[in-house]
Structure 1
């Protein structure tokens, strides 16, 4: 009887693939961000994503539901933070710093979310969660300073460039998106919420993309750049999202979230393999501490 309840291996394989796809977004983002104006690149990503999300919503749920006024505001908030702001900060950071370092930064998102929930909604954090948060931030400091922690005390500007600041802004906008998603979306399925958020995000990005059209050099739209935009839209957004929610359905949100810890691992590994970026000892040590801290913080209460 027990064997009947065991989720199929394919669920776990899909979740590993999701982490691989999301790790790959840092490489694709790095390729795109150095060649194409950011609003145009992000609008291209979500144009691709929206086409597939609309088809998916139609196939799985028979289309999109009509939104209440509250849901219009909520989905616009999701689009403005998790799609529009996140992608601008993400691409701006990747233009300025290595993809591997960026991937390690994003792994702090659950920690920042947990802290924000504690501050804004008075969610109680137990001693172990505070311990996890402290470990994760210590790991992030090691990554940030490339192992020279004294540098933070002595001169923080030497380690915090504009790329790092954009990456922290990306983490902040993703945290806002996560909290909005938890609190503001009663009555909408994950597919409907994500599709509406992506459509709002696409609208905002398209307005910016029109302004950036004079900066676009068409000769830079190489097959590598176009493939990267397609990858970001199809694998990084649509397939990643669908398989992730399949995992949530099959094994629950807490166990599914554990697979997010593979994203920085794949991000760093792919950056070294595909972009020839060095893997520093500080990235390995700091990254492991961040992942350990996130796992401790995200452990469900017994």
Structure 2
């Protein structure tokens, strides 16, 4: 997933049905990133996988921003620092945690964690930006975390209390790190980049993130036997960069422009649904009752919070 909170996109409004279909397709693309990410995570180190993903994404974003806006705008000093922060949090740190988690836990299980993104962001906004949360929002947050607890513990709360390591391992902690990184990314974009279009802000963030990833990946690039990286990994990288990042981003903000942020954000609740479904169909992962129940409760909490 790649998104900012800037307010304008130079795309013509689409017909309502087309907007709904694109938003549903965007949720499908983002759900598919967990399957593609798990495929890549088993053959490439996380930082190299992220580097390849955003190499594809940055190239496509530069093409789009050139065609839609005539190129990237010049940045003020504050915007340089803000876009660098976006690249560090939403690109570099998020993707290290994302690929690291997918190398350790099933794709469907990882996808369900994403339902907590808006909840953690709302809590961070309340804590750091002093945004007030109503009683209804607090109830939604509590409900979402209860749903997440069902997923994390696989419904065995007593076992988790006795031995938390049964439920919360390195993969789960990395997904929590990914969610936290995304919350910071969202808040930085909301406050610091209101003068940039979403496509320009995201392009700058992708370029910064690509730079950070390249610096970290250089020592590992020479250690990889590229002849052993199969076509499925390369296809997955292409999917992650093109569909999971660029096309999903453009279509999502067309939806935001046509329907408003709140109505468009409702479609994000479909991401874990698609993620779990694809994991079962394409990777043969089991769908546990705790995943279905916990995921439904978490989505209900998110819906209540964002209502």
- The TM-score with structure 2 as length reference comes to 0.94
Aligned residues of 2:152 and 2:167 also touching (Cα < 8 A): yes
114, 117, 128: which is aligned to 1:120? 128
Q: Name the CA distance, whole Å, in 2 between partners of 1:133 and 1:8.
A: 30
| 1:72-101 deviations in Å (ceiling 9; x for gaps) | 000000000000000000000000000000
RMSD across aligned C-alpha pairs, in angstroms? 1.2
Check if 1:227 corresponds to 2:235. yes
Decide whether the 8 Å contact of 1:85 with 1:173 is kept in 2: yes
* Aligned with residue 209 of structure 1, among 209, 217, 228: 217
Aligned equivalent of 1:177: 185
C-alpha distance after superposition, 1:231-275 (max 9, x if no partner):
000000000000000000000000000000000000000000000
The residue that corresponds to 1:17 in the other structure is 25
Where in structure 2 are the equivalents of 1:135-154 lying within 5 Å?
135-154=143-162
Deviates more, 1:120-129 or 1:169-178: 120-129
Task: Determine if contact 2:14/2:258 at 8 Å carries over to the other structure.
Answer: no
1:26 is matched with 34
Does structure 1 retain, via aligned residues, the 8 Å contact 2:14–2:254? no
Q: Match of 1:274?
A: 282
Cα offset, 1:8, TM superposition:
2.4
Alpha-carbon shift at residue 39 of structure 1 (Å): 1.4
Q: Given the alignment of the two structures, is residue 261 of structure 1 paired with residue 280 of structure 2, yes or no?
A: no
Name the counterpart of 2:52.
Answer: 44
The reply on whether 1:187 has 2:216 as its aligned counterpart is: no
Cα displacement (A) at 1:215: 2.9
The offset of 1:154, in angstroms, is 2.0
| 1:76 corresponds to 2:70 | no
Counterpart Cα distance in 1 of 2:243 and 2:228 = 22
- 1:155-183 Cα deviation digits (max 9, x unpaired): 21221110001000000000100111101
Give CA-to-partner distance per residue, 1:203-226, whole Å, 9 cap, x none: 111111211113312133211000
Hey, what does 2:70 align to over in structure 1?
62
Quick check: 1:36–1:220 contact (8 Å CA) kept in 2? no
Tell me which of 167, 172, 183 is aligned to 2:175. Answer: 167
What are structure 2's unaligned runs of at least 5 residues?
1-12
Q: Aligned to 1:294, what secondary structure does the other structure show?
A: helix
Corresponding residue SS for 1:216: coil
Which stretch has the larger CA shift, 12-21 or 143-152? Answer: 143-152
Aligned equivalent of 1:100: 108
Matches of 1:156 and 1:28, distance apart in 2: 29
Aligned length: 295
CA distance in structure 2 between the partners assigned to 1:20 and 1:31 by the alignment: 17
Kindly state the Cα deviation for residue 121 of structure 1 after the two structures are TM-superposed: 1.6
